[in-house]
Homo-oligomer: A and B are copies of this chain.
Amino acid sequence: MATQTEEDYIKAIFKITERNQGAANTNAIAKYLNTSAASVTDMLKRLSDKDYFHYEKYKGVYLTSKGIQMATQLVRKHRLWEVFLAKKLDFSWEEVHDIAEQLEHIKSDTLIEKLDAFLGHPKYDPHGDPIPNAEGKFTLRNQFGLSTLSKGEKGIVVGVKEHDKDFLQYLNQLEIGLGTEVEVIDVVDFDHSIKLKINNQEATSLSYKVTKNIYIKKQA
C-alpha cells in the first residue's frame, strides 16, 4: 500500500500536470510539496518502478492510468471530507483544506463509500470543485468567471478558482459564498473592476483580480 508521502507525490504530479498540460518538472513538484529538487529527483527514482508514472531524466514526469486513478481517488476523498467538515461540522470554507489534507490519507474503501452516502452523494465540495465519483468521473458544469459578465448580467456563485485563505475570508466579509446571487451594475474599462450587487444589497466594487477568481452560473 502506498505511503502518505507516495500519495502526496502522486497528487502533486496530478495537480501540476492538470494545471500545466504536459509533464511535471522537478522544480514544480518540489515547490508544490515544500521540499528540495534533490529530494524530488531522489523520490522519483525510487518510485519509478511502482508504475504510477513515467519518468525520464531531465524530461519531467507524467502519471500512468494507475497513477491517475490513485490521484483521482485522493481528490475524491479530500473533497468528500471537505464536505463533511463544512456541512456537518460547520467549518468555514477556508478551514476545511488543511484538515482534509490529513483525512484524505485514511485507508478504507468502505469508509469513503459510507461517507459519500451519509453526505448524500454530493457533486461539489465547499469551494465548488467537482467531486469525482467512485469510478473517477467528474461532473462538469457550465461556469464562467465573474469577470466575463457584462453590465446588467446576473449570476449565481458556484465556485472559486483561488483557494487562498485570505481570499476566501475576504469573500466571507463581502458575504459572497456558494449560491450567492450577484448582479453586475457597472464595469470599469480602465482596470476591469466591477460594481456588483450582492444578494440584492447595495453595490460594492470588486477588483479584476477578485472577479477573475469567482465562478458563476449565468442567470436569466
Contact = CB atoms under 8 A, between A and B. Distances in A.
B102 A106 contact: yes
Number of copies of this kind of chain in the complex: 2
Contact of A89 (B99, B106, B118): B118
Nearest to A98: B108
Interface in A98-129: 98-99, 102-103, 106-108, 110-111, 114-115, 118
A18 interface: no
Contacts of A85: 111
A106 B103 contact: yes
Contacts of A56: none
Q: Is the interface of A mostly helix, strand, loop or mixed?
A: helix
A88 interface: yes
16 contacts: A89-B111, A89-B114, A89-B115, A89-B118, A90-B114, A91-B114, A95-B110, A98-B108, A99-B106, A99-B108, A99-B111, A102-B106, A102-B107, A102-B108, A103-B103, A103-B106
Interface in A57-103: 85, 88-91, 95, 98-99, 102-103
A98 B95 CA distance: 27
A118 B88 CA distance: 7
Contacts of A114: 89-91
Contacts of A110: 91, 95
Contacts of A115: 89
Nearest to A90: B114
A58 B6 CA distance: 39
A118 B118 CA distance: 14
